[in-house]
Amino acid sequence: MELNGIKPSQGAKHAKRRVGRGIGSGLGKTAGRGHKGQKSRAGGYHKVGFEGGQMPMQRRLPKRGFKSHLLKFNAEITLAALEQLDLAEVDILTLKQSGLVGQLAKNVKVIKSGTLSKAVKLNGISATAGAKAIIEAAGGSVA
């Protein structure tokens, strides 16, 4: 095989559709655009979601939900992650350094997921009621 003998496989390449080139081509006169109307004209089309003047779907449906802009400042950590961290005292700075919470986090909360066998003291970190019970049962404290 030579480089000058390489060809694309059969059917991989096809000629571009040439419209408006006479009756015999099958795409003459209106060039496949039909008769009259907005779609037949050059440069004429509608915006996405336009329904001919009828109230569009995205405006007919009710608005729903809410996403707090403060969400990026809140983080959560599991009991299992605290277990793996293996520290006696934990605060937000140590969690940021270990990569368990994002750098933007201002409020961190421990959630009850997993188990905890070591005593851990939390400084400036809140905990859910269930997580607090497990931390205190292991001999730790939530400050």
Q: Are 125 and 90 in contact (CB under 8 A)?
A: yes
What pLDDT, on a 0 to 100 scale, did the predictor assign at position 1? 82
C-alpha 76: how far from chain center: 19
User: Is the CB of residue 93 less than 8 Å from the CB of residue 106?
Assistant: no
How far is it, in rounded angstroms, from Cα 143 to Cα 141? Answer: 6
The single residue listed with the structure tokens 């080139």 is 21
| Structure tokens given for 130 | 């269930």
- Asked if 142 and 124 count as a contact pair (C-beta separation under 8 A), the reply is no
pLDDT in tens, 100-113: 999 999 999 999 99
- Give the pLDDT score at 44: 83
User: Which CATH fold topology does 71-142 show?
Assistant: Ribosomal Protein L15; Chain: K; domain 2 (3.100.10)
Q: What's the pLDDT tens digit per position in 10-28?
A: 999 999 999 999 999 999 9
- Model pLDDT for residues 12-71, shown as the tens digit of each residue: 999 999 999 999 999 999 999 999 998 899 998 888 999 989 999 999 999 999 999 999
Task: Tell me 51's DSSP state.
Answer: B
The H or E element containing residue 136 is: helix 129-137
pTM here?
A: 0.55
The answer to whether 83 touches 116, Cβ cutoff 8 Å, is yes
Burial class (CB in 10 A: 0-12, 13-18, 19+), 19: middle
List, for residues 71-95, the tens digit of each pLDDT value. Answer: 999 999 999 999 999 899 999 999 9
Domain with CATH 3.100.10.10 in the chain: 71-142
